[in-house]
Amino acid sequence: MSLIRKTAAELGALIASGEVSAVEVAQAHLDRIAEVDPQINAFLHVAADSALAQARAVDERRAAGEPLGPLAGVPIAHKDVFTTKDMPTTAGSKILEGYRPPYDATVTARLREAGLVILGKTNLDEFAMGSSTENSAYGPTRNPWDLSRIPGGSSGGSSAAVAAYQAPLSTGTDTGGSIRQPAAVTGIVGMKPTYGGSSRYGLIAFASSLDTPGPFARNVLDAALLHEAFSGHDSMDSTSIHEPVPPVVEAARRADVAGLRVGVVKEFGGEGYQPGVLARFREAVDLLESLGAKVVEVSCPSFGYALPAYYLIAPSECSSNLARFDGMRYGLRVGDDGTRSAEEVMALTRAAGFGPEVKRRIMLGTYALSSGYYDAYYGSAQKVRTLIARDFEAAFHQVDVLVSPTTPTTAFPIGERADDPMAMYLADLCTIPANLSGNAAISVPCGLADEDGLPVGLQIMAPVLGDDRCYRVGAAVEKALEDRWGGPLLKEAPSL
């Protein structure tokens, strides 16, 4: 098997044993990027020289007899919303084109500490606002399963890079489903940790009470290894949880659901859901029952209000966070010819630098926070958020995990929903509740839809700090389905 098709865990073991060098592994993935990325556009910046230097450092450490961690020398693609002091950080926006931060995000620093080799920065919807990676100022990313379709969003570059074997691992951020939805439509694993379980320091903010860094991988164990590598308390993040990282790697290796109570969310299904998605979901639920889980239906009535609540809370926070991009301190600066006031320069810069979706959300959020409307809109949405958290709490008194389809449909064609924001927002219908409550949730592949042969994701939701339950159930489903398929789902993806 070629190096690019090995798992991250396998690559880490091969490098640690000296059977293969980290430089060889990095070069194999850089070659793959050069071969296929012109078609996919997963990367905004490829750091070939830096990646090879990082890999050489790992090889030198191994040669010196230094013990290596399980992911030392393993390549990773890094979402271009985490600051990196040695390469550009644009957040997919023209307003930050060419910006080089003076510091690393905590997630970036922890990747380096673990010896992971950062191949480059991946494409995304501008400022992580979108469900298709069509909103990037640098062009859309394409789904490796079908180049005419979206790879999900906002972390579409990260999901496509892993699905196309350009990297065995990648990072993403999940504000309303931006890890789980791309993972589902590209046939890989994507995890949203408990809010506060992974640091937001150095993450360019979209919605601060929702943004959550998390891992992408082609299997559950690899995702757990990456999750463990960059998670944990960070004093630089005021929302960081003062608790140890849940035993996610141990859970992924356990892969057993015997005796677990699994709740099927009654509100997720029916009209608007693609038949092939529902068929694969029901098969996955039946599979869990056959593995010894007790399956029951659970009602979470407030989940039906999650989408409108989210699209008041997230734009409101975006309106506040993006005020810092004013053309005064960093990034793009337009109209500064000595004749205009600072206010005029700010207005011209923001008009030129922000794309349509970012402008739409800033305006929505500014309106929701304005005098006379705050309580009616933002305040009411926060009350709905409380009701959703209570629904989760009540559900987890009855069951250990909740399951649903990750997204109502498979990957849709590029451009199909570009002029219909509501249709685009519905892609996150199933994922948003876990963001509003802060719960852990994962998407794992559960088959291909009959209509189009494209991947379908199973979402597994667990209580706050119950991240290990997601990995335990996800690994059990993965193992059972791989036994049925005779190998990983992704081997069926069309070659590029």
Active-site positions? 79, 154, 178
Residue 96's contacts (CB-CB under 8 Å, 6 or more residues apart) are 89, 90, 204, 325, 330, 331, 332, 353
Whose structure tokens read 């999940």? 174
What six digits make up the tokens of 318? 């975006």
Do 431 and 176 meet the contact criterion of CB atoms below 8 Å apart? yes
Residue 145's contacts (CB-CB under 8 Å, 6 or more residues apart) are 163, 186, 187, 411, 454, 455, 493, 494
Do 61 and 112 meet the contact criterion of CB atoms below 8 Å apart? no
Q: Where are the beta strands (DSSP E) in 135-284?
A: 169-173, 189-192, 213-217, 261-265
DSSP classification of residue 305: G
CA distance 288 to 285: 5
Longest dimension (CA), the chain: 73
What six digits make up the tokens of 93? 């926006």
Do 120 and 87 meet the contact criterion of CB atoms below 8 Å apart? yes
What six digits make up the tokens of 107? 């997630």
Helix spans in 128-274 (H): 156-163, 180-186, 220-230, 248-254
> Which among 79, 78, 74 has a CA at the least distance from the CA of 6?
74
What six digits make up the tokens of 19? 């059977």
Q: What is the pairing mode between strands 169-173 and 117-122?
A: unpaired
Give me the amino acid identity at 43.
Answer: F
CA distance 72 to 53: 13
